[in-house]
C-alpha cells in the first residue's frame, strides 16, 4: 500500500511542475505580446520623426511619445493617443472626449495612422495659431476702444466714493428702522 500512495504523490508533483511550466510559458507569451505592442508603437514613432522635427519650438500641448503601460500608448496630446487594438495587429488612433472614446483612424499598416496623426497635429497647430491670433486681435480692439473713449480723471475714485456712500446710507437707514421697530414693539 505504501507503493500505491507514493505513485499519486509523484503524479501530483509532476502535474504541479507541468502546470508551473505552462504558466511560465503563458507569462512569456504575454510579455512577448507587450514587447511586440511597444515595438510596433515605436515603429510609428520612427515614422513620425519628421513631424517631431517640424513642430514649433513653443508648442507645449503636443506630447508625441511612446509611454509604457498596460496597454502601451503613443501619446499625441493630453487626450489623443495611438494604441494597438484587441487583436494586437491593428493600430487605433483614438481621442478621449467628454462623451467617451472616439476612434479617429484604424489600420493594420503604419502609414495611414502616421498620416492621420500628422493631419491631427497640423489641425491642433492651426487651432492654436488661430486662438493666439484671436486673442491678440481682441486685445488690439480693446485697446483701440479704450483709447478712443475719453476717460475722466479720477473716475475710479469717484466710483469708490459713491459705493461707500451708498453703503453708509444703507447702514443709517437700517439702524433707524431697527430703533423704530424696537420703539413700536415696546410701546
Report DSSP letters for 9-71, one per residue.
HHHHHHHHHHHHHHHHHHHHHHHHHHHHHHHHHHHHHHHTHHHHHHS-TT--SEEEEEE-SSS
Q: pLDDT value at position 39? A: 87
Q: pLDDT value at position 52? A: 86
List, for residues 43-100, the tens digit of each pLDDT value.
999 989 888 888 888 878 888 888 888 889 999 999 999 999 988 889 999 999 999 9
The full set of domain ranges for the chain reads 47-140
pTM of the model: 0.60
Nearest to 104 by CA among 125, 87, 89, 118: 118
Amino acid at each position: 500500500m505504501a507503493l500505491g500512495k507514493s505513485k499519486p504523490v509523484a503524479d501530483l508533483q509532476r502535474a504541479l511542475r507541468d502546470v508551473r511550466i505552462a504558466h511560465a510559458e503563458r507569462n512569456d507569451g504575454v510579455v512577448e505580446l507587450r514587447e511586440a505592442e511597444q515595438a510596433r508603437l515605436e515603429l510609428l514613432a520612427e515614422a513620425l520623426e519628421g513631424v517631431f522635427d517640424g513642430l514649433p519650438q513653443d508648442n507645449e500641448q503636443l506630447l508625441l511619445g511612446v509611454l509604457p503601460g498596460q496597454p502601451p500608448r503613443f501619446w499625441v496630446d493630453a487626450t489623443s493617443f495611438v494604441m494597438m487594438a484587441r487583436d494586437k495587429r491593428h493600430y487605433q488612433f483614438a481621442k478621449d472626449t467628454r462623451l467617451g472614446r472616439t476612434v479617429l483612424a484604424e489600420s493594420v499598416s503604419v502609414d495611414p495612422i502616421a498620416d492621420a496623426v500628422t493631419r491631427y497635429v497640423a489641425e491642433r497647430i492651426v487651432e492654436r495659431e488661430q486662438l493666439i491670433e484671436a486673442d491678440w486681435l481682441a486685445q488690439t480692439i480693446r485697446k483701440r476702444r479704450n483709447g478712443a473713449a475719453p476717460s475722466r480723471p479720477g473716475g475710479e475714485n469717484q466710483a469708490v466714493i459713491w459705493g461707500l456712500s451708498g453703503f453708509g446710507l444703507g447702514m443709517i437707514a437700517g439702524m433707524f428702522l431697527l430703533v423704530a421697530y424696537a420703539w413700536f414693539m415696546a410701546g
